[in-house]
Amino acid sequence: MFPTSLSPTAASLLPILLLGLSNVFMTLAWYGHLTVKSAPLLLVILASWGIAFFEYCLAVPANRIGHTVYSAAQLKTIQEVITLIVFAGFSVLVLKEPLGWNHAIGFGLIAAGAAFIFRG
């Protein structure tokens, strides 16, 4: 599905792109059902599993490719930062839930912690 040998630049950037796309699917699977609260829970669970399949189809290759350049801890950190960015956009644009100063500070502290993962 994905090439086994990539240039160092591609091996560095492709995982970030794939993790970004996978997080769109993940956020939709985990939180999209909140827009249709009248749907039966079992149907929502099954739909979420179906959506999550596509998330895994992107996340697994992202981690496999990314591990040639990044450590597992760095990959997890990249994924978490992307998750926060995607979730923040989804929260505001889809769920119509504003993010306040406390969210900005909390996300900023998480991002600061993420920066330590890439030091040294």
Tell me the two tokens of residue 69: 């350049």
Determine the Cα–Cα distance for residues 65 and 30; give it in Å rounded to an integer: 25
Tell me the two tokens of residue 93: 């644009």
Tell me the two tokens of residue 120: 């040294």
Quote the mean pLDDT of the chain.
93
Q: Return the amino acid letter for 69.
A: V
**Segments making up each domain of the chain, as ranges:** 8-117
Determine the Cα–Cα distance for residues 115 and 42; give it in Å rounded to an integer: 40
> Does position 20 have pLDDT exceeding 80, yes or no?
yes
For the CA atoms of 92, 98, 99, 101, what is the dihedral angle to 10 degrees? Answer: 150
Proportion of the chain above pLDDT 90, given as a percent: 82
Q: Do residues 102 and 43 make contact, with C-beta atoms less than 8 angstroms apart? A: no
Range of weakest confidence among 7-11, 36-40, 52-56, 89-93: 7-11
Determine the Cα–Cα distance for residues 15 and 37; give it in Å rounded to an integer: 34
> What DSSP character marks residue 34?
G
